[in-house]
Structure 1
Amino acid sequence: MSLSIAMLSPEISRIGGAAPTTTPAITPPASAGSVPQASFADTLASMATDAISTIKAGETTATAGMKGQASLQQVVQAVMMAEQTLQTVVAVRDKVVGAYQEISRMQI
């Protein structure tokens, strides 16, 4: 799950531009009888789906802006979110490729 600027903007504007002062709640570790957590593959698939939808929303908003149907602020926010998402995807890809290369160099 990704955190976007759109999620933070109401909180930031409410407190005058400063970072939120509350700390996130800490979740206790799962017990043996609880529901298992999502697998790594499920997490990556979810992140990929979120990334694709964010980039598509940025493209749609940019197109609407060119047609005069969206404000400049909306276009800039959507494009910035899409750019941040793309940078995150590239960083994760680079880490996965690096891990694969490290594993392939291991001697058996």
Structure 2
Amino acid sequence: MSLSIAMLSPEINRIGGAAASAAPAVAPPASPGPAPQADFADTLASMAADAISTIKAGETTATAGMKGQASLQQVVQAVMMAEQTLQTVVAVRDKVVSAYQEISRMQI
């Protein structure tokens, strides 16, 4: 499965925003039932989908700019966002590969 930065960027922003606005050390009251939790695969899938949409938006805006239907500022912003998304995807991919390599070196 290939990931793109556009998919990861919104998820990373969401996680970063949640960490920045974290509540004090007081724990919230326990809820009566189990809370729905997204597993790691769901999180990666949503990040991948967001990265793909961001990169596609950058490509669409760049094409519109070449046709004269989008301003230069819009094109630059969309391309820079797509580039940032791609860099994030590559960084995550590198970490996943590194983790896999470490696991494969472990002795059983």
> Aligned-residue CA RMSD in angstroms?
2.3
Residues 30/96 of structure 1: CA separation in 2 closer, same or farther (3 Å cut) = farther
- Give distance in 1, aligned partners of 2:43 and 2:37: 10
Residue identity (%): 81
Residues 80/37 of structure 1: CA separation in 2 closer, same or farther (3 Å cut) = same
Query: Are 1:3 and 2:26 matched, yes or no?
Result: no
Give the gaps of 5 or more residues in structure 2: 1-10, 15-19
Q: Deviations over 1:7-32 (max 9, x none)?
A: xxxxxxxxxxxxxxxx6243856846
Q: How many residues align?
A: 90
Give the TM-score of the pair, scaled to structure 2: 0.74
Residues 85/29 of structure 1: CA separation in 2 closer, same or farther (3 Å cut) = farther
Dislocated runs of 4+, deviation >3 Å: 27-32
Q: Deviations over 1:28-83 (max 9, x none)?
A: 56846342320000000000000000000000000000000000000000000000
Q: How does 1:1-108 map to 2 (within 5 A)?
A: 1-3=11-13, 24-26=21-23, 31=30, 33-108=33-108
Select the structure that is richer in helix: 2
Letter paired with 2:50: D
Structure 1 stretch displaced more, 45-54 or 31-40? 31-40
Residues 96/59 of structure 1: CA separation in 2 closer, same or farther (3 Å cut) = same
- Give distance in 1, aligned partners of 2:30 and 2:106: 35
* Structure number with higher relative contact order (C-alpha < 8 Å, ≥ 6 residues apart): 2
Give the TM-score of the pair, scaled to structure 1: 0.74
